[in-house]
Amino acid sequence: MSALLGLCLGLGLLSMVAPFLWPRRRRRPTAVRTQPLAGLRDRLARAGLERLPLPAFLALSLLSAVAGFALGGALSGVTAVALAAGLVGLAAPFLAAGWRDRATRRAHRGAWPDVVDHLVSAVRSGASLPDAVASLSRTGPPALRSAFAAFERDYGATGNFSVSVDGLKERLADPTADRIVEILRMSREVGGSELTGVLRNLSSYLRSEAAIRGEAEARQSWVVNAAKLAVAAPWLVLVLLSTRPEAAAAYNSAGGGVLIAGGVAVSLVAYRAMMRLARLPEERRWFR
């Protein structure tokens, strides 16, 4: 019995000094660790695939890689070409999502000034902020009406403006939408008479930014398309040459594999460098 009491006393003393002997380490925020995944989710949301789970998208990429490997092997009969086709198949869903993401950004970039103008008109007419945002499901730009219709349903079900606009931000996944939502949230929670002036200034800024960006993209589009064609042309020639038995035998050798691997590496580096140099800076989402 005395041994049991001594053990309990020792455990109690150890529990008292444990915070000083083994202090708890601060963990990094989860948002920092999952930032690449959050960026991919935002890209899928802007591409119209917000209901597609991330594991399903990754599985689709793997299936596309297997299909590309099989197709490349069937057409050329060269193992290195089949592996290169598998890499292209692996990247194809990401490239398609990126293309739809950029197309959605361009469409939304021209629509945000109209959204802000509709909000100004609704607020000046005396409508409340939830009603002003919900009215965009009928009077707003067609590309954004579905997101605002979902906000109207959420607000009608919960009556909570903050929760409903958080859902709106996740559906739109756009930095400009985050900025507008936070302006409306602050105006609703804090109050003030400068909301219409702030929104007018934001509308003029968005219009000038869209005009400048559109002119820059129009000037550089033909250069980007020519660079993409320059990257793809050698591989089309390689596939055509691989249909000849002697060329296929040469590419299936060790030297041919090294040559194709080097070509893949050079093409990837050149393509990424070209896209990085041609890409205009995009605003990040700060108000998640």
Q: Is residue 33 part of a domain?
A: no
Q: Is residue 26 part of a domain?
A: no
CB 165 within 8 A of CB 184: yes
Burial class (CB in 10 A: 0-12, 13-18, 19+), 14: exposed
Q: What is the C-alpha to C-alpha distance for residues 4 and 100, in angstroms, rounded to an integer?
A: 69
Q: Is residue 39 part of a domain?
A: no
Structure confidence by residue, pLDDT tens digits, 43-71: 777 777 777 788 888 888 889 888 888 88
Q: Is residue 283 part of a domain?
A: no
CB 174 within 8 A of CB 102: no
Distance of CA 134 to the CA centre of its chain: 26
Q: How many domains does the chain have?
A: 1
Domain ranges, residue 99: 44-278
The pLDDT assigned to 30 comes to 38
Q: Is residue 113 part of a domain?
A: yes
Q: Is residue 199 part of a domain?
A: yes
Structure confidence by residue, pLDDT tens digits, 29-42: 434 344 556 677 77
Structure confidence by residue, pLDDT tens digits, 74-86: 877 777 778 888 8
DSSP assignment string, 193-209: S-HHHHHHHHHHHHHHH
Widest Cα–Cα separation across the chain: 90
Q: Which residue has the higher pLDDT, 24 or 218?
A: 218
Q: Which of 268, 281, 271, 282 is nearest to 224 (CA)?
A: 271
The pLDDT assigned to 143 comes to 81
Q: Is residue 10 part of a domain?
A: no
Q: Is residue 36 part of a domain?
A: no
Buried b (16+ CB within 10 A) or exposed e, 118-136: bbbebbeeeeebbebbbbb
